[in-house]
Structure 1
Amino acid sequence: MRLSIIRDAFDLVTKTQNLSSSKTDEVIDQIGLEIEIALGKMHNTEPGVDCKDVLNELMRNLLRIAPLSQMEGIQNELNVPLCEYKKILEKYFNPDISKAYRNFDIDTHTLNQIISKHFYREGLFDVGDHFVSVLGEPESAAIMKSPFLEMYQMLEAMKDRNLEPALNWAATNSDKLAQSKSDIVLKLHSMQFLKILQNGSIVETIDYGRTYLSPFTSTHKDHIQMLMACLMWIGKLDQSPYKALLLPSNWERLAEELKRQFCNLLGESYNSPLSVTLAAGVQVLPTILKFTNILVKKRQSMNHLPVPIDLGCEFQFHPIFVCPVSKYPATEDNPPMFAACGDVFCKQSILMMTRNGTRVFQCPYCPLDIDAAECRQLHF
């Protein structure tokens, strides 16, 4: 919704600017034409014709073509949507994000490692090395850098259509990849099979298929049969029903899958934790700033968010329960409790609602009376 409002305002500014520019260009062309006519008259002046008369006529024509009010009107047409667009940007993009900052203890060493590892996993090895050297922790650089250096060597080789480094890595880690139920080994060998097939050597292609693809026949029969059918189109696979196998996007998807499986074996997430944190922060920042501005006016502080914020499925890595009463997330010491009515609250909220000495409390979301002793801990 917010992005659509900004986009509509921007489109209006662009449309008005194009219209204003078109009108201005038209006026400039007319002015240029009148000046050329006046110059022609002055160069070909007959005896008794005063050049001042020509200039006075030119001035009258210019005022007729482009009076000052008309030029101001064109500019004002642009200023109105431009000012409105500025107000919308200021409304939805508050430049003072420092209001969302809260003082809290943080392990600087751990934060520096997260930043360093982010540079290395993104392939920015020179930046990572410089960052680590500035921190004075060169001994940690080799540990973090080495595995990602191997990964990017394989990815760079794949850009040149060289699968040897990736195939060697897959062979070394085949048992671990099988345990994680990854089919990256099959995908790499399938791509190498097609690469050999494109070179036109049918004997070499068949030998490669027998050696490296036959072990997958029992689990990926249809895929293996399709690859074997490609042998009938050797030298002209791009004209076959299987020409989609030659699309460059297949190499890109294979590279992404390799990166994903490589990070999985390292025990790392596919996306950098730092990039995920920043993306989530950008998404919730407007809401946090809104609550902060409200609390500042009320002269209150915000130690936690008063309401849960839905970050979307891409940021949901494990289940989190936020108590609808206290607005605090559940913890081991404050677990979610399942009430007889079907509603769920955190343990501390139930204790608060039974603070008057009775075990029975009224559910805040339905009219039933609940016995606290009958509430059971809920496990996700």
Structure 2
Amino acid sequence: MELKSIKDAFDRVANKHKLSYTKTHEIVQMLSQELDKALSLMQDTQLDHKSILVDAKKLFTEKSPVAQLESAEKELNVALTKYPKVLEKQLNPEISKAYRTNAEFDTHIVNQIIANFFYRQGMFEIGDCFVAETGESECTTRQSFVEMYQILEAMERRDLEPALTWAGANSERLKQARSDLEMKLHSLQFLKISQGQNSQEALSYARKHFAVYADSCLYEIQKLVCSLLWDKNLEQSPYSEFLSPVLWDNAVREMTRQYCNLLGESSESPLSVTVTAGTQALPVLLKYINVMANKKLDWQSVEQLPVAVELPEEFQFHSVFVCPVSKEQSSEDNPPMMMSCGHVLCKQTITRMSKNGAKTSFKCPYCPTDIDSTRCKQLHF
């Protein structure tokens, strides 16, 4: 979106409103002063009241306050009329032209993605209603997300038993994923017991559950145990951080992430990520389409966009390589190849530069090194 255009339009309206207010204030002040002056003169019984009123009327006619007010109001109304049009153009563009008419969609897959989104968000009734109305089979992940939300809802109530049970059952898989979720959950349970001012029970819990983490989390364990010395005044202690609700929020996020990870799902909804990324890329695409339309070119037949669509790092999930010579993205059939000089080109580019294998050597397009095509090495991202 062209936020600058919206801001400029808003600033114009704000400036016109300020000028209109200033002008109105000046005119009202002038009228007030002239009326006060006329009333003051009329209090003198020796003066002709009629001539005073005639002079006042003549002054008002010359100053034409109504015309001045109308002029200022007209300029403000013009700016106010244009502003919604700018908003409509920038915030509600015609996005249907970004849709490729030759694109093929698998309705079943799209419906499953939408149903999976509802279940992932915990909206099980809406998901069930959607599945029933579309006639789709039940989403395979539904029951798993039901279990996940039962665990998360228990954590919101500060009940860690369901989460600890799940983490214990999946302990080996969590270790393979190098997750410290189980330690986080045991730490929260320890703090919950200690904040109940039951130090002996908290120590017993620590001896039972912290020993296996002594090598990797010794410093954290030491802090947790030392916090027992301040159990009656923890908020004034060096360990007041253990009272922060952020610890629970982090545990909930890690629980969600690891549950989805072991389920073979991403921690973020694919539909949400797709829509968010598409929303950020759409303005660039629409601008490109408008340029193509002005040049009477059909973008529907373009296989690769000639413009870069920059997205934040959170939307970059895989490393890619684009050949600097052919501008083509690498693939399994056309992998990136590193030459002896250290520069990288795609395999098909190297083949073309070596005259389709007719000769083995050619000059690197980026440095004066003679390259032996047989010595190029494939890179793996």
Distance of 1:18 and 1:249 partners within structure 2: 45
1:226 counterpart = 2:223: yes
Contact 2:20 2:76 in 1 (8 A): no
- For residues 79-102 of structure 1, the C-alpha deviation after alignment (integer angstroms, 9 at most, x for no partner) is 448737854873x55712222222
Structure 2 counterpart SS, 1:332? coil
RMSD: 4.1
Q: Tell me the distance in 2 between the aligned counterparts of 1:148 and 1:21.
A: 58
Matched, 1:291 2:292: no
2:117–2:269 Cα contact (<8 Å) kept: yes
CA offset digits 1:320-379 (Å, max 9, x no partner): 112233333211112223334543332333444555885365655556665544543332
* 2:258 corresponds to 1:261: yes
Match of 2:248 in 1: 251
Change (3 A) 1:227 1:82: farther
Deviation at 1:114, TM superposition (A): 1.6
Residues 24 and 69 of structure 2 are in contact (CA less than 8 Å); yes or no, is this contact kept in structure 1? no
* Counterpart position of 1:98: 96
Check 1:144–1:28 CA distance in 2 against 1; reply closer, same or farther (3 A cut): farther
Corresponding residue number in structure 1 for 2:176: 179
Q: 1:26 Cα shift?
A: 5.5
Output the CA distance in 2 between the equivalents of 1:238 and 1:262: 33
CA distance in 2, matches of 1:357, 1:264: 46
Distance of 1:267 and 1:223 partners within structure 2: 30
For 2:347, the equivalent position in structure 1 comes to: 347
Shift of 1:155: 1.4
Following the alignment from structure 2 to structure 1, what is the Cα–Cα distance between the partners of residues 177 and 171? 10
Corresponding residue number in structure 1 for 2:337: 337
Contact 1:118–1:274, Cα closer than 8 Å, also in 2: yes
Which TM-score applies when normalising by structure 2?
0.79
Which range moves more in the overlay, 189-198 or 20-29? Answer: 20-29
Letter in 2 for 1:129: D
What SS does the corresponding residue of 2:111 show, helix, strand or coil?
Answer: helix
2:8 aligns to what? 9
Where structure 1 has 5 or more consecutive residues not aligned to the other structure, the ranges are: 38-52
Query: Unpaired segments of 5 or more residues in structure 2?
Result: 37-51
1:147 corresponds to which residue?
144
Secondary structure, aligned partner of 1:67: helix
1:164 aligned partner: 161
1:196 is aligned with what amino acid? Answer: I
C-alpha distance 21-200 of structure 1, shift in aligned 2 (>3 A): farther
Identity of aligned residues (%): 43
3-state DSSP of counterpart to 1:203: helix
Match of 2:304 in 1: 304
Please name the residue that 1:134 is paired with: 133
Amino acid at match of 2:98: A
Change (3 A) 1:114 1:63: farther
Structure 2 equivalent of residue 116 of structure 1: 115
Inter-CA distance 340–80: structure 2 relative to 1 (3 Å threshold) = farther
Deviations 1:137-195 (A, max 9, x none): 2x423x22111111111111222222121111112211211221111111111111111
Aligned partner of 1:322 in structure 2 is 322
Provide the TM-score with structure 1 as the length reference.
0.80
**CA separation of 1:65 and 1:244: change in aligned 2, threshold 3 A:** farther
Could you tell me which amino acid in structure 2 is paired with residue 378 of structure 1?
L
Structure 1 runs, 4 residues or longer, greater than 3 Å off:
13-31, 57-66, 77-90, 307-310, 339-343, 349-376
The answer on whether the counterparts of 1:20 and 1:75 sit within 8 Å (CA) in structure 2 is: no
